[in-house]
């Protein structure tokens, strides 16, 4: 195992410290529990619904990279691939709460659902209004060892962006929750891996792929996918992913979409841009218009090589909030 770390037990703490040293618009919320971190906006904005998201670390820039204007108010960083505890999530809620309430954006993993919902109950007992959106955009598998139902992957970034923009505009908790749920209902994602990742404390790969082998539909923690096969050309791989994504959420000729071509941590941007070209070529042939595309590492799996595609079907309202100004370390969109 070759990693640029000190003690595996201190990774989350040192990562969080390094993050806020790089981005002075962020702060760390003090915690008594070790091995976790809460990253919040330095200048808390009142009079708006606050958004909190998070989960296990190892998916950077998710989720702390989306803390800032127009997106999240706080992100909770658990240990690598491990959900933060209910107490830590509750501390994040209390740190950013406003009189308009707090929306939690939760990826559909068993530990996250259980711990975030327990935190909501704890916050409600202290008089804090809360609501949730559970993201389950992955079309690869309906159930895994980590989930009941579909997994939440890179489509979560669209929920952060659009619900965050609605919250920044001062809309109420019910509205922000419903538009987040609408994003989730209209986004589908699927990914593939060329190589595994190594959790530092484990010190070895979570699975093994041959030099000429890939896995279709795996999860962002290395959960099994739907099939293994031989490496193919980029155009063929994109076609296979898009076919499954569009079969699950049909998009008509003339409709508009937004795309995320997401690297899993170990894929060069050169290859992601090639995948993006292939994606656009297929959508153009189908008469589907691409309104916005983002390419890069947005929801990773440590150093895993591979990528995922997320396709969001847009309507006028979703498009408006997608284009609204946001300013965070990992996502900047200043509008037209």
Q: Which residue has the tokens 């109420």?
A: 172
198: its two tokens = 């190594």
Please classify residue 335 by burial: count the beta carbons closer than 10 Å to its beta carbon, then call 0-12 exposed, 13-18 middle and 19+ buried.
Answer: exposed
Q: In this structure, what DSSP letter does residue 265 have?
A: B
The candidate with the shortest Cα–Cα distance to 307, out of 231, 232, 239, 220, is 220
Rounded to 5°, the CA angle 261-104-98 comes to: 125
Residues 59, 63, 160, 291: which is the catalytic one? 59
| Contact indicator for 40, 91 with CB cutoff of 8 Å | no
Count other Cβ atoms within 10 Å, centred on residue 286: 13
Neighbour count for residue 334 (Cβ, 10 Å): 10
Q: Are 49 and 102 within 8 A, CB to CB?
A: yes
Q: What single-letter DSSP state applies at residue 219?
A: -
| 59 among known catalytic residues | yes
8 Å CB contact between 321 and 265:
no
Examine the residue annotation and report whether 160 is marked as an active-site residue of this protein: no
The 3-class SS string of 159-176 reads HHHHHHHHHHCCCCHHHH
| Number of Cα atoms under 13 Å in the Cβ half of residue 108 | 22
Catalytic annotation, pick one of 63, 160, 221, 280: 221
H or E stretch at 311: strand 306-313
Residue 163 to residue 203: CA distance in whole angstroms: 38
Q: Supply the residues annotated as catalytic.
A: 59, 221
């Amino acid at each position: 195992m070759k990693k640029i770390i000190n003690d595996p037990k201190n990774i989350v703490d040192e990562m969080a410290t390094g993050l806020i040293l790089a981005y002075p618009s962020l702060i760390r919320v003090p915690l008594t529990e070790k091995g976790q971190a809460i990253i919040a906006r330095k200048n808390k904005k009142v009079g708006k619904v606050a958004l909190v998201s998070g989960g296990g670390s190892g998916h950077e820039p998710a989720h702390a990279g989306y803390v800032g204007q127009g997106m999240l108010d706080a992100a909770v960083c658990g240990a690598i691939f491990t959900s933060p505890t209910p107490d830590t999530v509750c501390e994040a809620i209390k740190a950013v709460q406003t009189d308009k309430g707090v929306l939690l954006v939760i990826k559909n993993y068993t530990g996250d659902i259980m711990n975030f919902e327990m935190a909501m109950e704890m916050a409600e007992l202290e008089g804090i209004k809360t609501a949730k959106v559970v993201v389950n955009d992955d079309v690869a598998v309906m159930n895994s060892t980590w989930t009941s139902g579909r997994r939440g992957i890179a489509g979560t970034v669209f929920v952060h962006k659009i619900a965050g923009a609605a919250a920044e505009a001062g809309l109420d908790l019910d509205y922000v929750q419903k538009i987040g749920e609408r994003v989730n209902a209209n986004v589908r994602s699927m990914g593939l891996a060329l190589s595994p990742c190594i959790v530092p404390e484990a010190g070895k790969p979570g699975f093994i792929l041959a030099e000429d082998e890939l896995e279709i539909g795996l999860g962002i923690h290395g959960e099994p996918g739907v099939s293994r096969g031989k490496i193919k050309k980029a155009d063929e791989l994109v076609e296979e992913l898009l076919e499954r994504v569009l079969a699950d959420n049909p998009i008509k000729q003339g409709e508009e979409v937004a795309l995320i071509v997401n690297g899993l941590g170990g894929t060069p941007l050169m290859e992601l841009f090639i995948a993006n070209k292939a994606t656009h070529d297929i959508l153009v042939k189908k008469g589907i218009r691409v309104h916005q595309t983002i390419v890069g590492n947005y929801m990773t799996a440590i150093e895993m090589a591979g990528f995922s595609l997320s396709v969001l079907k847009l309507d006028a309202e979703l498009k408006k909030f997608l284009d609204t100004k946001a300013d965070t370390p990992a996502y900047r969109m200043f509008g037209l």
